Structure 1
Amino acid sequence: MTTDTATGAGGKGLAVGTLGLAGSVVIGLASTAPVYSLVATLGFVVMAVGAQAPIAFIVAFLPMLFIAAAYQELNRQIPDCGTTFTWATKAFGPRVGWMGGWGVAVAGIVVLANLAQIGGIYLWLMLGQDALAENTAVVTATGVVFIALMCWVSYRGLEIGERLQNILLGVQYLALALFVIFVIYRIATGEAPATEHFSWQWFNPFAFADYSGFIEAVLLALFIYWGWDTCLALNEETKDPQRIPGRAAIISTAILLITYVGVTVAAMAYAGVGTDGLGLGNEANADDVFLALKDDVMGPLAIVLVIAVLVSAVSSTQTTILPTARGTLAMATYKALPRRFQTVHPRFRTPSFSTLMMGVVACVYYVGMTVISDNILQDSILSLGLAIAFYYGITGFACVWYFRKELTTSPRNLFLKGILPLLGALMLTYAFVQSAIDMWQPDYGYTELLGIGGTFVMGIGSLVVGAVLMVVWSFFADARPFFAGESLNRETPVLVPEEPETYQRSIDGGLM
């Protein structure tokens, strides 16, 4: 097998051979912030589809699995840290590739603001300072500190980040395991308020009562799966760049499916989906299901869930910085961004300038949106699914088009390089379009801007801003090689590290 690469001892200068399969899986899982994702999403999914929440999470998993296959196949051929940017440029040209890279950046910046806010709130809740947890200025300042600290960790090197994530992810899964154990105990002792503790109807894909609610739930569920692709952005720093990242992506998404469905079933079994009291369908509980349930379910150990949400937000803050920093590094390497973004720290072997800029832009965005209106910040977070569906969809289509001449050479290629990525891309495209239509309505989200939904303005507006920046950059002399299709096209090799000797034999022997 051949790869579309030009190898060099250092590639782009990143730390070669740092991550193994386990480390990649941990970072892929940590990037999704499992505990926080459930906290932020579960209530709204139940409000949208009621008792069909478990099957909604399963349905949303399918496009993630299909797109993970696209990532795996493209990464085997082109193990470049630019991921969507690099692959889409090779498949469709510089402008589609640039917008794919912008989609990754937008999603990262918006979610960093969200994670910082949650981290700020939960730190003070953990310390028993409820008044400070409701103080916008204090929470914002605390969130900025979290972003700065996690930027420092990312700046100092991937190894320290990996060690930190092992601990933080362990705390999250310990908390979720304790939650499920306590739910089982409460049900066994007759203390659970729900009248129905389990039903196979929860898994019936034909029981959705409202079509728009189903689409809304699936888009919300896409958010909680999002993040596993971080392990692909670290491909140049793994011990086996062509195989480990793709495998880690598949493993991560499978573990997330089990986690989300399992915890959702446990929460429904305990609280039910009613609209009163502890019911998951109660709008008052939607913003934070665990905060509503923690005392009744876990009693004195309720603080464990608070700590887990804090840890989840902080953990994902660090891992969210990683893919965007490496994406902008790759874009600069191929002249799609100013060369300063290409800077790699000579000692830590990290994309130093890109990492710092990611932190600065995220802080400015977070503080700016908070000062303007917290409701606008919340609408930008609600619109996050558009950016996710946008760049995941581009990746799926890029896989099909890039490998189009190989699809008929074997059943494996047909399915993994063609059918599955295409299905995933089509599903995400539909979710994008339908969600944009729904978000257009003035009553969608928290604000109304220009007579339409603020969520639509923030979501589509962020992509339009990217298109404008792309046009502006294209007029600079340094950008000409990229937009002329010279620095990166289907035929040009990509700059990746030389294959370490530890796995050269397995590469020569053929891949799965």
Structure 2
Amino acid sequence: MSNVPPVETRTGLRANVLSGFDTVVMAIAGSAPAYSLAATTVTLAGTAGLIGPAALLWCAIPMLGIAWAFNYLGRIDVNAGASYSWVGRALHPSLGFLAGWSVVASATIFMVIGSLPAGQYTLSLFSDSASNNKTLCILVGAAWFLAMAGLVLLGARITAHAQWIMTGIELVILTVFGIAALVHGGTAATFSWSWLWGWGHFGGSAGFAAAALIAAFYFWGWDVTANLSEETSNSRKNSGFGGLIGVVAVFALFEVITIAVNIVVSQTTIADPNSAPVLTILGNSVWPGVGGKIMVVAVMLSTIATLETTLIQVTRSLFAMGRDKTVPAAFGKSHSRWQTPWVAIAAVVVVSLGLFVASNNFSNVNKILAHGFNAIGLQIAFYYSLAGLAVVVAYRKLLTKSLSNLFFIGIWPLAGALFMGYTFVENLTTLKAADIEIGIGALALGLIPMIWYWVKGSEYYRSGAVRLDATASDEVDALYGESTLATSSSGPSDTLATDI
């Protein structure tokens, strides 16, 4: 067993402040159902047409495999860095750092492409002309961003309470209006089961991969529960379980609303840049004149909520990296009172606001706004695929102990990893150059701190560092068993790790 410092000396985050219910709420909020639908339905329709629901289905299945991977990796390593720690200790430190960096890069890009809509949707509740004023939208979006940063600074407990309100209202609105739209029906198209199957309509492997990349962006964010593991009670169980429930819940919402949009809104209208937002049209079809505004409220709350969860993901990742001295050690400092990574929060706020304000003036940042979804999709596929491989390696000696282990810890996560890897590689050959430049360029920037701190001798890269191996927990069973050590943990744990 490696000589690892006690948990108390390695963590500065407040332990046991989130419950299992909190993790489910955070997972749903992280995926931001209303925002994802509002922001990417047009893009998905342009790629997949009426079979958008099929793209979401075929992405949800491997995505659940990745959620299972996060679930079981979280049982043997409770760490705010999540995939950064797991991939680094199961596969290779350099891959782990790049997995963590992809979280940082994708989250930073999202801060830019998410804050502007927050301002737009807020202003659209009061004035259409105001919502078209880009400068005003930037100011309001920046105000929301700073408010969410303030909540994240004050701690996970306050953050979770805010999510109860915002995400709760969002889910009620989406569920009621989605079901009502299905019952009410529409004239745009007649429902077909082919919308859920889709084979033969994607336009070949390239078309399928393009649709899958967009669908991956829909789901992204549920894994914030893993980054909150050090602050979650009974985290070995609750963090992973919350992510699994979150994926299933948002998938159901995505399917209901996407099918409703197909029925109510014609493909021509969706493609028309001058038409009203699709969710506004959907809302007005259920409740003319009022429903559209209510849907705008859902999107506004969803956008604000996901800014908060994305801030958590990036700052907890940077905190874990700073703690390991793979980025400046200051990022690993926590606030003495609130026990939150205040240096990481401050750095992300400064960088994001700088990019956000600059987007009003510089074309290169406008390019980030225009191509951000695909760029983030590449980064998501990258670190999800590595996490799927990591769980198979970490549990390799236990996969044949039961059929449930083989399926839920081996086959399903591996299939998810291969799917994400395929999506990543296929899109590298078909995406526009700008998408690749932003997505891969942001990842490549991570090589600078990786090489710098590797050369400086960070313990994280030491060849004899502690590695993940689930063998010590030989009672883990995917369906029926619990790890003998699966108890509440308040910090990064190496209990189930060995030197290999």
Query: Normalization by structure 2: what TM-score?
Result: 0.88
**Alpha-carbon offset, residue 480 of structure 1:** 3.2
The within-5 A match list for 1:151-190 is 151-184=149-182, 186-187=184-185
Matches of 2:21 and 2:244, distance apart in 1: 13
3-state SS in 1 of match to 2:80: coil
Q: Which residue of 2 aligns with 1:336?
A: 326
Which deviates more from structure 2 when the two are superposed, residues 384-393 or residues 409-418? 409-418
Matches of 2:323 and 2:281, distance apart in 1: 48
3-state SS in 1 of match to 2:235: coil
Q: Which residue of 1 aligns with 2:211?
A: 217
Matches of 2:275 and 2:459, distance apart in 1: 49
Q: Which residue of 2 aligns with 1:481?
A: 459
Which deviates more from structure 2 when the two are superposed, residues 329-338 or residues 6-15? 6-15
The within-5 A match list for 1:82-93 is 82-93=81-92
Query: Does the C-alpha gap of structure 1 residues 50 and 405 become closer, same or farther in structure 2, counting only changes over 3 Å?
Result: same
Matches of 1:163 and 1:491, distance apart in 2: 34
Aligned counterpart for 1:309 among listed residues 295, 299, 305: 299
Matches of 1:4 and 1:295, distance apart in 2: 62
Matches of 2:485 and 2:276, distance apart in 1: 51
Q: Which residue of 2 aligns with 1:326?
A: 316
Q: Is the 8 A contact 2:264 2:285 kept in 1?
A: no
**Alpha-carbon offset, residue 485 of structure 1:** 3.9
Partner deviation per Cα, 1:305-355 (whole Å, 9 max, x = no partner): 111111111010011111211111111112212211111112111111112
Q: Is the 8 A contact 1:325 1:354 kept in 2?
A: yes
Partner deviation per Cα, 1:473-504 (whole Å, 9 max, x = no partner): 434x4x53333346x531799xxxxxxxxxxx
Q: Which residue of 1 aligns with 2:429?
A: 437
**Alpha-carbon offset, residue 286 of structure 1:** 8.7
Which deviates more from structure 2 when the two are superposed, residues 25-34 or residues 9-18? 9-18
Matches of 1:169 and 1:10, distance apart in 2: 35
The within-5 A match list for 1:5-404 is 7-9=6-8, 11-128=10-127, 130-184=128-182, 186-187=184-185, 192-196=186-190, 198-211=191-204, 212-272=206-266, 274-275=267-268, 278=269, 280=270, 282-284=271-273, 288-301=277-290, 302-373=292-363, 374-404=366-396
Matches of 2:351 and 2:382, distance apart in 1: 21
Matches of 1:263 and 1:358, distance apart in 2: 33
Q: Is the 8 A contact 1:43 1:286 kept in 2?
A: no
Which deviates more from structure 2 when the two are superposed, residues 131-140 or residues 78-87? 131-140
The within-5 A match list for 1:457-472 is 457-472=437-452
Q: Is the 8 A contact 2:110 2:372 kept in 1?
A: no
Matches of 1:491 and 1:375, distance apart in 2: 40
Query: Does the C-alpha gap of structure 1 residues 236 and 3 become closer, same or farther in structure 2, counting only changes over 3 Å?
Result: farther
Q: Is the 8 A contact 2:225 2:243 kept in 1?
A: yes
The within-5 A match list for 1:410-449 is 410-439=402-431, 444=432
Matches of 1:287 and 1:323, distance apart in 2: 32
Aligned length, in residue pairs? 472
Cα RMSD over matched residues? Answer: 2.5
Matches of 2:398 and 2:469, distance apart in 1: 19
Matches of 1:218 and 1:285, distance apart in 2: 27
Partner deviation per Cα, 1:147-179 (whole Å, 9 max, x = no partner): 211111000011111111000011111221332
Partner deviation per Cα, 1:178-212 (whole Å, 9 max, x = no partner): 3225424643xxxx33241x222222242424123
3-state SS in 2 of match to 1:217: helix
Matches of 1:137 and 1:396, distance apart in 2: 42
Q: Which residue of 2 aligns with 1:409?
A: 401
Matches of 1:403 and 1:195, distance apart in 2: 47
**Alpha-carbon offset, residue 92 of structure 1:** 2.2
**Alpha-carbon offset, residue 406 of structure 1:** 2.4
Q: Is the 8 A contact 2:367 2:434 kept in 1?
A: no
Which residue identity does 2:72 align to in structure 1? E
**Alpha-carbon offset, residue 21 of structure 1:** 1.0
Matches of 1:199 and 1:175, distance apart in 2: 25
Query: Does the C-alpha gap of structure 1 residues 492 and 55 become closer, same or farther in structure 2, counting only changes over 3 Å?
Result: closer
**Alpha-carbon offset, residue 291 of structure 1:** 3.5
**Alpha-carbon offset, residue 415 of structure 1:** 2.0
**Alpha-carbon offset, residue 93 of structure 1:** 2.5
Matches of 1:107 and 1:386, distance apart in 2: 9
Query: Does the C-alpha gap of structure 1 residues 305 and 147 become closer, same or farther in structure 2, counting only changes over 3 Å?
Result: same
**Alpha-carbon offset, residue 293 of structure 1:** 3.9
Query: Does the C-alpha gap of structure 1 residues 306 and 3 become closer, same or farther in structure 2, counting only changes over 3 Å?
Result: farther
Which residue identity does 2:289 align to in structure 1? P
Q: Is the 8 A contact 2:264 2:282 kept in 1?
A: no
Query: Does the C-alpha gap of structure 1 residues 220 and 286 become closer, same or farther in structure 2, counting only changes over 3 Å?
Result: farther
**Alpha-carbon offset, residue 22 of structure 1:** 0.8
Q: Is the 8 A contact 2:394 2:468 kept in 1?
A: no
Which deviates more from structure 2 when the two are superposed, residues 21-30 or residues 393-402? 393-402
Q: Is the 8 A contact 2:121 2:296 kept in 1?
A: yes
3-state SS in 2 of match to 1:300: coil
Question: Structure 1 vs Structure 2: percent identity of aligned residues?
Answer: 28
Query: Does the C-alpha gap of structure 1 residues 428 and 327 become closer, same or farther in structure 2, counting only changes over 3 Å?
Result: same
Q: Is the 8 A contact 2:22 2:160 kept in 1?
A: yes
**Alpha-carbon offset, residue 64 of structure 1:** 0.8
Q: Is the 8 A contact 2:31 2:218 kept in 1?
A: yes
Q: Is the 8 A contact 1:89 1:489 kept in 2?
A: no
In the alignment, structure 1 segments of 5+ residues that lack a partner are 445-452, 494-505
Matches of 1:141 and 1:13, distance apart in 2: 33
**Alpha-carbon offset, residue 385 of structure 1:** 0.2
Matches of 2:106 and 2:285, distance apart in 1: 35
Which residue identity does 1:354 align to in structure 2? A
Q: Is the 8 A contact 2:10 2:323 kept in 1?
A: no
Query: Does the C-alpha gap of structure 1 residues 10 and 239 become closer, same or farther in structure 2, counting only changes over 3 Å?
Result: farther
Partner deviation per Cα, 1:384-423 (whole Å, 9 max, x = no partner): 1001001111111111222222223332322222211211
Query: Does the C-alpha gap of structure 1 residues 421 and 379 become closer, same or farther in structure 2, counting only changes over 3 Å?
Result: same
Matches of 2:210 and 2:275, distance apart in 1: 14
3-state SS in 1 of match to 2:446: helix
